[in-house]
Structure 1
């Protein structure tokens, strides 16, 4: 009996759903479809509108781009001639792609390092603060000037960077007078380090050279407290030279 009731209910619901589906009304779109035409004037209007200009602008190569491209072509020809790797792929291709940039970075590093190490014998006065101290070329300072007086004047005007520079020139003056080095305008600080035969003097001179490069070429700001600490290695070297 229970099964008969379930069958009747199932058939009843199915008939009700079918009846609901049959009663759903049909809708028709009776609007008139107009054919749209595009004239030449419309096309020209869109062409002159920058918002519809999808032309990709080509980036103009600068000097660096041309140099990198030239260097890459040279390297490609070189590797092709030796290994025949013009169509290289994978890791080798990646190496060839970045190699010009690595070489360029090395070249820039060497140039910067060279200019930092070269003595500034042609550089004239670089003044700082309210009191301006105009200094002459290194040769004039080392051979003819009272460098200790220049140091005191720079300290008095609180131009401590310039005082460190004078301390370094005074060190070169003392080493020259002691015949430990032969001062020449074209020589670099590295040349003087190699000339020093005394291990102790060479170590101390290397130390003050690092301080000098850091303060003077690196434009490191030096206050009075810092200056009192930085001048100690210079004074220690001067005592060693005189002894």
Structure 2
């Protein structure tokens, strides 16, 4: 018996309990019984359709045309182009023409390289200007400059000895500088007479606006200003006879100013 190996333990249990334990131990040792597999029934075979082939029904063509014409079946939204003005239409045509030209054969084979060359030249010119390199000197040419006897940027008409400076410029044949000195002498005469308020940073046309509109004074000073700007800023070449005419006009204007002062003092 199974319990004979445990003589000190099993007599403590009653007979019924020992019998029940024996049954439990035997069932656990035997293991669960496996049921036999049930056979799977085979699916019935499908028989071929022996009936006639179906006929496709096509909708009526007139009915389809009628449905297509109805608004309820129009699923595409119409894109309306905004109205263009004449100016917008002109620039649209210009853009189209430029676009067509950029994709043309002539541009890709000729004009594109011309534009590349122009861009390179413009870039070199900008670099030379930024580096303050004299481009004309690189080409073997020097700009024409008239020799000046003094610094014109620091001049003060109330400190210049016009008689001496004019004599030196005329003796040297520097007619351009002589015209400038004669014009500055006119400004000094106008400032001494109280007709203008001379300032180093004022323009010649500002002095012209300060003169009285009545009388011939403004017209004469306008002509003297025009001659001075042509000669000094425009670098107009002067000969001795032409300078004589300009100098005569300066002297006549100064004489007119002297008469105006004398009439005012009376």
Query: How would you bin the TM-score normalised by the shorter chain?
Result: 0.3 to 0.5
1 or 2, which has the higher helix percentage? Answer: 1
Using CA pairs under 8 Å that are at least 6 residues apart, name the structure with larger relative contact order, 1 or 2: 1
TM-score by length of 1: 0.47
TM-score by length of 2: 0.43
